[in-house]
């Protein structure tokens, strides 16, 4: 590779972030960027991988045990510590294996699969939370920009009013009090614009925390599909997590209950003697549960109590998710009604009033002050309408993005 080509490549790579932010950013693109760089989601996926690897070993038998030793080695006398002089001395090598029944292995496999399901839900919850927070940050940044446009327009109107008042004062048609009042009004408008610009900067930084790129322009968010109550509750992160916790608790109780039947251990060994026949030994070790009612049964009862606790938590989480959905849906419906009513009853008449004042002023039938007042009222109506639209969009985002999605990036 030539040096000029290397330098050109480096320049292109350095300019990629700038080129990437030149085009307006959409909500869908922001969600994709956030999903790709989310460390929380990556940690959750690592948890899923860990649980899957552990599940592969859950149903396996324990490793066999190699046993090597010397039996009946003389400890005193002339043959002390000699392995080849005493006929009873035997060099032994053997192997033992603890045996788990098929039912126990199936119970352990089911418990491991339940743990995988729980980690999968946690990964989905992390992805859903990333999407939700990114979408909310996107809305805050977008509506902050729209609010800044209205504030800038209000500042422009205040400047025009001040200039008109100064012109009237120079022609002796106005008063110095009007000029001072409008000067203060312009200062207030400039301060409001600066405040909203500060809010926009904070909102863009919050969004950049998720998408990782600097933002110049945001596209309006498209309409989202709202889930039904049944889907929302079933896929709510807390409900889904509690459901998996209950599954894990039930499977853990089943594993503990299977321990009431002890595991047998068989052993096979080969013994070598000097000058005599070699020996083969076969044995089985069987634990004896002398007090199952005080040990194994109580362990099982403890696990069953934990399963009942998880089921109670699931029921409570279901109720909370149902109430949350109904509250959000009610808020969305009422906000939509307020938006329709405010647009029809306030915003549209305010625009019509401005148009009428403008027509009257151009025909010398209305005053400039009336026109300025009408424009102020129209901008204030637009700002109020914008705030209602922002609240409605945030409510829709919470309804649509809080439930889990089936996709978990690998």
Could you tell me whether strands 65-71 and 264-272 are parallel, antiparallel, or unpaired per DSSP bridges? Answer: unpaired
Residue 343 has pLDDT above 60, yes or no: yes
Question: For 155-302, where are the E strands, in sequence order?
Answer: 264-272, 279-285
Residue 369 has pLDDT above 90, yes or no: no
Backbone angles phi, psi at 287, to 5 degrees: -60, 145
Query: DSSP of 132-164, one letter per residue?
Result: HHHHHHHHHHHHHHHHHHHHHHHHHHHHHHHHH
State what percent of residues in the chain have pLDDT above 70.
85
What are the structure tokens assigned to 316, written together?
């409570």
Residue 360 has pLDDT above 50, yes or no: yes
Alpha-carbon distance of 159 to 151, in angstroms, equals 12
Question: For tokens 């500060």, what's the residue?
Answer: 198
72: region left, alpha or beta (phi > 0 left; psi from -120 to 50 alpha): left
Cβ neighbours, 10 Å, residue 361: 17
pLDDT, one tens digit per residue, over 281-332 is 999 999 988 888 888 889 999 999 999 999 999 999 999 999 999 999 999 9
Closest CA relative to residue 250, chosen from 309, 293, 298, 295:
309
Cβ(160)–Cβ(361) below 8 Å: no
Alpha-carbon distance of 26 to 256, in angstroms, equals 52
Cβ(377)–Cβ(353) below 8 Å: yes
- 285-293 long-range contacts, Cβ below 8 Å, gap at least 24? 285/96, 286/262, 287/262, 287/263, 288/262, 289/260, 289/262, 292/260
Lowest mean pLDDT among 182-186, 202-206, 321-325: 182-186
Backbone angles phi, psi at 115, to 5 degrees: -65, -40
What end-to-end distance do the CA atoms of the chain give, in Å?
A: 35
Query: What average pLDDT does the structure give for the chain?
Result: 84
pLDDT, one tens digit per residue, over 18-74 is 444 457 889 999 999 998 888 888 888 898 899 888 888 888 888 999 999 998 888
Helix (H, G, I), strand (E, B) or coil at 69: strand
pLDDT, one tens digit per residue, over 244-267 is 999 999 999 999 999 888 899 999
Domain boundaries 31-401, CATH class: mainly alpha
Alpha-carbon distance of 220 to 145, in angstroms, equals 11
Residue-level pLDDT at 376: 82
pLDDT, one tens digit per residue, over 225-236 is 999 999 999 999
Alpha-carbon distance of 250 to 308, in angstroms, equals 9
Residue 395 has pLDDT above 70, yes or no: yes
Helix (H, G, I), strand (E, B) or coil at 90: strand
């Amino acid at each position: 590779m030539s040096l000029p080509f290397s330098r050109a490549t480096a320049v292109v790579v350095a300019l990629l972030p700038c080129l990437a932010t030149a085009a307006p950013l959409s909500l869908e693109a922001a969600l994709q960027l956030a999903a790709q760089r989310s460390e929380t989601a990556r940690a959750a996926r690592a948890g899923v991988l860990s649980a899957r690897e552990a599940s592969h070993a859950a149903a396996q038998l324990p490793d066999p045990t190699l046993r090597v030793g010397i039996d009946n080695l003389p400890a005193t006398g002339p043959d002390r510590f000699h392995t080849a002089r005493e006929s009873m001395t035997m060099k032994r090598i053997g192997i033992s294996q603890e045996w788990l029944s098929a039912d126990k292995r199936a119970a352990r496999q089911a418990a491991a699969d339940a743990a995988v399901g729980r980690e999968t839900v946690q990964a989905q919850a992390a992805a859903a939370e990333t999407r939700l927070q990114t979408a909310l940050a996107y809305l805050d940044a977008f509506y902050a920009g729209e609010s800044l446009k209205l504030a800038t327009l209000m500042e422009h109107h205040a400047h025009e009013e001040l200039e008109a008042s100064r012109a009237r004062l120079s022609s002796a048609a106005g008063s110095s009090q009007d000029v001072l009042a409008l000067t203060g009004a312009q200062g207030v408008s400039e301060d409001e614009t600066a405040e909203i610009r500060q809010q926009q900067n904070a909102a863009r930084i919050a969004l950049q925390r998720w998408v990782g790129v600097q933002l110049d322009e945001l596209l309006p968010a498209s309409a989202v599909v709202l889930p039904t109550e049944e889907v929302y509750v079933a896929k709510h992160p807390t409900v889904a997590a509690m459901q998996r916790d209950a599954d894990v608790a039930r499977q853990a109780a089943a594993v503990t209950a299977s321990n009431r039947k002890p595991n047998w251990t068989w052993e096979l060994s080969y013994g070598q003697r000097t000058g005599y026949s070699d020996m083969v030994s076969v044995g089985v070790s069987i634990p004896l549960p002398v007090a199952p009612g005080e040990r194994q049964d109580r362990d099982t009862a403890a696990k069953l109590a934990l399963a009942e606790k998880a089921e109670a938590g699931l029921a409570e989480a279901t109720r909370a998710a149902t109430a949350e959905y109904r509250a959000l849906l009610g808020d969305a419906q009422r906000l939509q009604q307020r938006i329709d009513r405010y647009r029809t009853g306030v915003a549209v008449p305010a625009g019509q009033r401005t148009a009428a004042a403008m027509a009257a002023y151009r025909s010398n039938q209305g005053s400039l002050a009336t026109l300025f007042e009408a424009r102020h009222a129209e901008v204030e109506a637009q700002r109020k309408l914008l705030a209602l639209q922002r609240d409605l969009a945030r409510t829709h985002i919470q309804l649509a993005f809080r439930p889990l999605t089936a996709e978990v990036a690998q």
